[in-house]
Amino acid sequence: MRGYINGSGDPVIGTTLIGSRGRIKVIALIDTGFSGAICIPVKLAIQLGLELISEVTVEYADGTRKDELVFSGKMVWDKDAKDVEIYLTRSEEILIGKELFNDGVLEINFKNNTVLFRRL
């Protein structure tokens, strides 16, 4: 899978999210500090029709802890549809986390503005 370095200097990669109301192609910021699969804005979760499955306590980089809702959905990852737990955010950013990179190699080349993920 290929991504790129966006205009803000952040590594991003594309994916498709799948819910009961349809599919949406998105560009997500790679966040190696996020241990889950994906985090999306609330309005996108509503649009997709995701199913609420739990509430978990998460700890943010600044040490604060909050209870967050977790939803069930699917995403296309490296050409395969994959069941994932989807966290919600009040921000507009979509975040891709470390869970998706556990079975491969993630290369971020800032000099060449490229992002490459390959499964091992």
Amino acid at 43: K
CA 52 from chain centre, in angstroms, equals 17
Contact criterion met (CB below 8 Å) for 96 and 29: yes
User: What average pLDDT does range 52-80 have in this prediction?
Assistant: 89
Residue that is written with structure tokens 């990669």 in the block:
13
User: Average per-residue pLDDT in the chain?
Assistant: 93
Residue 37 pLDDT > 80, yes or no?
Answer: yes
Name the more confident of 5 and 61: 5
**Do residues 6 and 28 lie in contact, with contact meaning Cβ atoms separated by under 8 Å?**
no
70: left (phi over 0), alpha (psi -120 to 50) or beta: beta
Percent of the chain having pLDDT more than 90?
75
Mean pLDDT across the stretch 12-36? Answer: 95
Tally of structural domains, the chain: 1
Instruction: Tell me the residue range of the domain where 76 lies.
Output: 2-119
| pLDDT tens string 74-118 | 999 988 999 999 998 888 899 999 999 999 999 999 999 999 999
Query: From the DSSP assignment, how many helices (H) and strands (E) are in the chain?
Result: 1, 10
| pLDDT above 90 (res 60) | no
pLDDT confidence tier of residue 15, bands split at 50, 70 and 90: very high
What is the Cα Rg of the chain in Å? 14
The CATH number of the domain holding residue 115 is: 2.40.70.10
Is this prediction's pTM over 0.75? Answer: yes
DSSP state of 7: T
Cα–Cα distances (Å) from 74 to 3, 15, 22, 24, 101, in that order, read 20, 10, 11, 11, 16
